[in-house]
Structures are given as structure tokens and as C-alpha cells.
Amino acid sequence: MVKIGSIEVGEFPILLAPMEDVSDPPFRHVCKMFGADITYTEFISSEGLIREAAKSIKKLEFTDFERPIGIQIYGHDIDSMVEAARFAESVKPDIIDINYGCPVKKVASKGAGSGIMNNVPKMVAMTAAVVKAVKLPVTVKTRLGYDEQNKNIVEIAEKLQDVGIQAITIHGRLRTTRSSVPADWTLIGEVKKNPRMHIPVFGNGDVIDGPSARHFKDTYGVDGLMIARGSYGNPWVFREVKQYLADGTLPPMPDIHERVRISRIHLEKSVDWKGERLAILEMRKHWSYYFKGYPHFKPFRIRLMEVETFSDMLELLGEIEAHFHGIEPASVHDKLQGGANEPEGLPSECRL
């Protein structure tokens, strides 16, 4: 049984990645329905939390159904990170997670996210301070290194473990690597094989289905896997991965009735959490993924982008369900090749 601190998270946990503008409570709910073992919030600015900015405070919200859940924070100032960690702990999540992975310029250029990976002493000091500040287990999500000259995750992982983190998730790309380049899991495997490492090591990057999950598990020996892009419009991926790892078989692809049912749940929970107007607007980035692969879907996609009310959206979903009854879609994973067609918001590198 894999444990993060004292929290049991399964024999081989499958994690839903923290993704800006994606992994909000409604999306976490539908992924949890299909077996996500651990969920994470969108990443939250430490400065936003300590200023009690409304958007940052809103991101702290979660339900018990989503547990175990980690609140992920990021920032460049150690004192602010400590204060933010204590703030996050006050809402009683299960885990505090530190984002050392986001490479987006406006984050990394300030020395936050993966930008701190070129200052390992500060990275270690920040981690140690957060660990000391809270009673909850602290985990880290990071990358292989800052750039090609600094692929030092084996050293970094040891140092972070030594100051008290309880698990590490490693994304198989550098800060400078684009999502169109395949993830390199070699160093993730080296971290796991390091005899000094005793905390769980989770791998992330290009886990999109059962076969890819089996490959990474068997080849690199990690303790669990984190899924990001593979979950877009496909919360069923968690069920698929678990079934494939268990017996080598794939469950049937969800048909149009199942896709409409789950997307409707996602929509309804979004309306409850954000209000009708914002939910309708923000669901627009999900519709193409839920119905990816259906032939001649473009007219419906245009209409999904134009609907303005909850009642009209429910009516349109019913029309889509009737129209595509009995029609099989192409593979849901076609969309993942080359990192194309990401949801709107921050660039894709913060979602992998």
C-alpha cells in the first residue's frame, strides 16, 4: 500500500494532475467518479492567498468526495509560501503540494514554478520552511531540471526528501521542453531506483491510456502515475488505466449516452459552483473533448460555443445525444498527439 505520510492512497495510485483552468471542483468530481485516487486543486498563488484575493480563495474550495485532495501552491518568496501553506492547511485538505513545475514565463521568470530549479539551495530552503510550517504531509511536483545543462532531478529529489517531503511527482520534461516533445522518463526511473529514496515517486507526462500507463509502470517502476491531458473530456481514463493494469483489457469506449450523462453532471456542478453565466462560458473549453471523434460534429460544436443559458444547453445536449445515437467515435486519444488543441487559459505546459 502506497502512503503519503499516514494517508493510504492505494496499491498503485492514479492521480489527477493540478491543471490551471481545468482541475476545478466540478472536473475533479467527474474524474473521482471513475477512480482518480488523489486529486489536486488548480495551482494557487501564494501572494494571492496571503492577500486573500477572491480568485485564489475560491480555488481552496473542495468537497469530501474529492478526498484525498492536495492544495497546490506556488510562489517565489519563502515567507509568503509559508504563510500561504498555513492558510491552505486551515481549510483541512489532506496534502499541501508545492508547484516547482510550471514553466510559463510569467511564473518562472519570477523564480516560481520551474523557475526555482536553477536555484536548488532556495528550492530546498523553501521546501524545508513549508514542511516545518504545517502538520499536513507536504509533496512536490517538479520537472527533470531547469535545462539541458541542469538535468539534476536525482540530486534534487534526494535533497527535498531529506527536508521532509512525503512524495514527489516528476514530470518527464525540462523547464525548457515543449509539450510537443515526448516526455523522457529515464531520469524518473533513476530517481525511483536511487537506494536513498524511500518516499513514493510518481511519474507524469504522456500517460494517456491503459497501454501507456502499463508501459511507464513496468519500465520505470514508479509508485503511481499522474494523468493530465489524458483526462481532457475523458474522466473514464482512470477506469481504463486501472482495468488495463489489472488484467490487460480495455473497457468499451463510452458511448454518446454516457458522454452526455457525464458532461451534463460536469455542467450542473459547474453551474452550482460558479453560477450559470461563468459556468456556461468556461465549459466551452471542455465540449470539444467530450465529443471528440464524432463525425461531422462541427455544427454542434459551434452551437455549444453560442449557447448562453443552462436550459438551452441541456436541450442541445439532448439533441446531440439523439443525433449520435448508435454512432461510434474515433479514438478519444487522437487529440493528444503533439500537444495540440489545449483548453484555453494558461499555456499547456502548466497542464501536463
What are residue 224's DSSP bridge partners? 202
Q: How far apart are CA 194 and CA 57, in angstroms?
A: 38
Contact 190, 221 (CB under 8 A): no
102 is catalytic: yes
What cell numbers appear for 291 in the block? 465529443
What cell numbers appear for 101 in the block? 513545475
Q: How far apart are CA 123 and CA 132, in angstroms?
A: 14
Contact 318, 76 (CB under 8 A): no
Q: Quote the Cα angle for 38-66-87, to 5°.
A: 90
Nearest to 204 by CA among 287, 100, 69: 100
Strand, helix or coil for residue 95: strand
The residue from 4, 17, 44, 102 that is catalytic is 102
Give one word for 205, left, alpha or beta, with left for phi > 0 and alpha for psi -120 to 50. Answer: left
Task: Tell me how far apart the terminal alpha carbons of the chain are, to the nearest angstrom.
Answer: 26
Q: Where are the beta strands (DSSP E) in the chain?
A: 3-4, 7-8, 14-16, 39-40, 44-45, 69-74, 95-100, 138-143, 167-171, 201-204, 224-227
Looking from the CA of 335 toward its CB, the CA atoms found within 13 Å total: 21
User: Which residues belong to the active site?
Assistant: 102
